[in-house]
Structure formats: structure tokens, C-alpha cells
Amino acid sequence: MSARLAEDSSMTTTLLLAQACNNRWSNHRLLTACATLPAAALHAAQPAAFFGSLWALLAHLLDVDRFYLDALQDQPRAYRDEDWPDLATLTAAQAASDQRLIALCRTLDAEQLTQLITLPRATGPVREQRLRTLQHLFVHQLHHRGQAHALLLASGVAPPQLDEFFLTQDEPLRRAELQVLGIDEGALWGTTL
């Protein structure tokens, strides 16, 4: 492998790991804010809500994460909606899923990123590149977290900032949470902030 290709591969895996860590942090902030809502408000029908309510949207996010993670780890299975009993259970499952994504991104190499994986679909299995599937998963998460952000606001809860992860200037705003989550920015970026 050329030095340039190795450098590009290293940068790609670093960025994927950063996205996975950002996902963990964003979900932590979002679900912490959701925990301030009564269960009735989480489950309340909202006309602007994808899937009908904030609760259904949060469940969808987690269910899709788990579907793609299974496929990304070469254990494809059909998509299924889980019946999450309460926010505490969903939050714990989301944290486990987020940690699983971080662990996956920590171990990926250039060859694995170009490999094809199987995604079971209702019309039959399809093959997709692992890197493109990961990028799709990150966009899916961002897309629906943005909707959840708006639904929190509509429910009367100040939604958390979800864009304070990457810039050095925002480090003081995330420091305590990243410590709680076990995310070491120095190790992630290979630098000291």
C-alpha cells in the first residue's frame, strides 16, 4: 500500500470513528433531554412527527441502528421494530448500540471498508459497500435526530445543542459529558486540545 493510500485510509477510519463518537454523544444529549418529558408527552401524537410521536421516532432510530450494525458485522437479519417498554430500557439499548458502533469503527481497515455486506430487504438481499453503508447510517441518524430535536421543542423542552462535537472551540461545552461517556478526544484525534 502506498504511503498516500495508507494516510487516506487512516484519515477515513479516524473520521468514521469520530462520527461514531459524535453519534454516542449526540444520542446521550438527546435522550437526557427526552428524560425530562413525562411518558405521556413522549408518546403523544404529534402531527409533524415521523412515525407519529417522539417515542416512535426514538425507537425507529435505535431499531435501524441495530439493523445496520448487524449487517455491518456480517450478521444480517431482517429489520424489525422492537417494543421498547420504557425510556430507560431504550436509553440503555441505544448506549449499547452506540458503543457497538464505536467498537466497530475502531477496528475497521481499508480492506474491510471496501468489502460488500448483505442488507436483507423485503424484496430480497442487496449488497452494499461497508463504507457507504456506514455513511448512510450516520446520515440516517442525523436526519432523524434533527426531527427529534424539533419535536422536543414542540413538547416544551429546550432541545440540546447537537453541533458542539467537532470544533476545538466547543471543547469546554462537551468536556464533562465526554468524560462520562469515556470518549478521549486526545486519543481520537491524536492531538491534545
Question: Domain residues of the chain, as ranges?
Answer: 3-189
Q: Mean pLDDT in runs of 10 for the chain (193 residues)?
A: 58 94 98 97 92 97 98 96 97 98 95 96 96 98 96 94 95 96 93 67
Fold of 3-189: Four Helix Bundle (Hemerythrin (Met), subunit A) (1.20.120)
Name the 3-class secondary structure at 47: coil
CB 8 within 8 A of CB 175: no
CB 128 within 8 A of CB 32: no
- pTM of structure: 0.93
Q: Which sign, positive or negative, has the C-alpha torsion 43, 46, 93, 91? A: negative
